Every structure is written in structure tokens, then in C-alpha cells.
Amino acid sequence: MVAGDGRGGERWNTLSTRMMYSGSVFSVHEKNSQAPDGRLGCFSVIKARDWAVVVPILGRGTEARLLMVRQYRHGSDKPSLEFPGGVVETDEAPEKAAARELAEETGYLPGTLLHAGTVYPNPAIQGNRYHVFVALDPYPAVERHLDEHEIVDADLYPAGEILDSMGEGELSHALMCTALFLAEKCLASKGLPSLRRL
């Protein structure tokens, strides 16, 4: 160990929790906790439902194209190029949410749906999870059904170009970078060709 006493991962005890704000997407709570060594601290925690996203891949290897959506994001005040995704509804399985969001935002159904991984978006202040799926050979089959405030364009992009540009411009959404990384890892674990250009 480079530094520390080996107790960095020990659980803190929650002494009290108080809701500070409640909105349609998330709530903010003030959490008073005690460290294993007795220190006290007050922490802000955001509670939100889990999210699911799907990386839709048409074709394989260097011929692969990704089905993505472009929409304006109010937080960044900029357009964002993303994979289809959204909130996991109450009592909904994450894979069902991923398939539903794909259909609603693009009109495509998933073909083969693979679980690529589940991560915490920001465990310092959030407890919700982010479920990533890969859709192999999605196909157009249904009408899009966008939410009231969604204005979304769906299109196909060469996978190699998306990989090369991820983290820049409209591809700066950190959770989309995570989704693409987990998708590549998932493809490798299944013995499928990488999206990376040869």
C-alpha cells in the first residue's frame, strides 16, 4: 500500500438523513454519518432511479456502424451525440428499459441484447446505477415514441470514427465514453471483432 492504514474502504454508519430537495428526476438528501474512527461528517447525496443505455451495433469489425441519437442537453447547454438510453422505470428490468429506450428513440428493436456492465455514475454523491447493454444487429420495426420534451435525431455513424472522436465536441458525455468502453470489453469477452479500426 502506498499510503493509508488499510481502512479506506470501511463502511461509515448513517446517523440521520434529511431530504433537502425533491424533483421529477432526482432528490437531494443531507446525510449525517460517522466514520469507523468516530469522526462525524455531513454529506450531500443525490437519489435517482437507475439508468440504462444501449450501444446498437450494425455490422462487425471495421464495417460496424453505431446507431446514435443527437439531442440538446440543458446541463451543458449544448447538443450531445449519445447512445439511446434513459431511466429504468419502477419494477422494470434494466434490459427491458434498454430495449424500450432503443425502440422509443430510434424505432429499432435490439436483435441480440448483451449485458456489457453496470457501474455507478458518481459514487461520491449518487447511489444509482448505470446499466450498459450492447444490441447486435438491431433492426427498424416500430414507430418512435419520444417523451414530451424530447427532440431527438437518430442516425448511423461509422464505429471507428466514433471511437476516434469520443471525448471531443458532441461526444463529450462521460457516460457515453463509459458505455463505449464497456461495449468493446463485452465484444472481446464474446470473441467478437472490436469496433476499433484496423
- What's the mean pLDDT when you consider all of the chain? 93
pLDDT of residue 63: 85
Q: Give the pairing of strands 51-58 and 40-48.
A: unpaired
CA distances from 131 to 4, 56, 60, 76, 183 (A): 32, 14, 23, 22, 11
Residue from 53, 54, 55, 58 nearest 137 by CA: 58
Contact yes or no for 6/18 (Cβ under 8 A): no
Cell reading at 10? 470501511
pLDDT of residue 44: 97
Across the range 70-97, mean pLDDT stands at 96
Q: Are 127 and 42 in a shared domain?
A: no
Q: Are 126 and 169 in a shared domain?
A: yes
How many CB atoms sit inside 10 A of residue 92's CB?
15
**Does residue 94 have a pLDDT over 90?**
yes
pLDDT of residue 9: 86
Give the count of domains, the chain.
Answer: 2
What proportion of the chain, given as a percentage, has pLDDT over 70?
Answer: 98
Q: Are 34 and 84 in a shared domain?
A: no
Instruction: Output the domain CATH number for residue 55.
Output: 3.90.79.10
Task: Name the one residue in this structure whose C-alpha cell is 458505455.
Answer: 179
- For residue 60, what is the DSSP state? -
Q: Residue 147: pLDDT band by 50, 70, 90 thresholds? A: confident
Cell reading at 53? 443505455
Amino acid at 184: E
Answer with the residue of higher pLDDT: 122 or 149: 122
Q: How many CA atoms lie within 13 A of 1 on its CB side?
A: 6
pLDDT of residue 6: 78
In a domain, 81, yes or no: yes
Q: What is the pTM of this model?
A: 0.92
In a domain, 7, yes or no: no
Contact yes or no for 97/87 (Cβ under 8 A): yes
Q: What is the pLDDT of residues 73-86, one digit of tens each?
A: 999 999 999 999 99
What proportion of the chain, given as a percentage, has pLDDT over 90?
Answer: 82
User: Which H or E run contains 169?
Assistant: none
Residue 49 and residue 187: Cα distance in Å, rounded? Answer: 27
Task: Name the one residue in this structure whose C-alpha cell is 502506498.
Answer: 2
Q: What is the pLDDT of residues 1-34, one digit of tens each?
A: 688 777 888 999 999 999 999 998 999 999 999 9
Domain encompassing residue 95: 49-189
pLDDT of residue 198: 36
- How many residues in total does the chain contain? 198
Residue 197 and residue 40: Cα distance in Å, rounded? Answer: 51
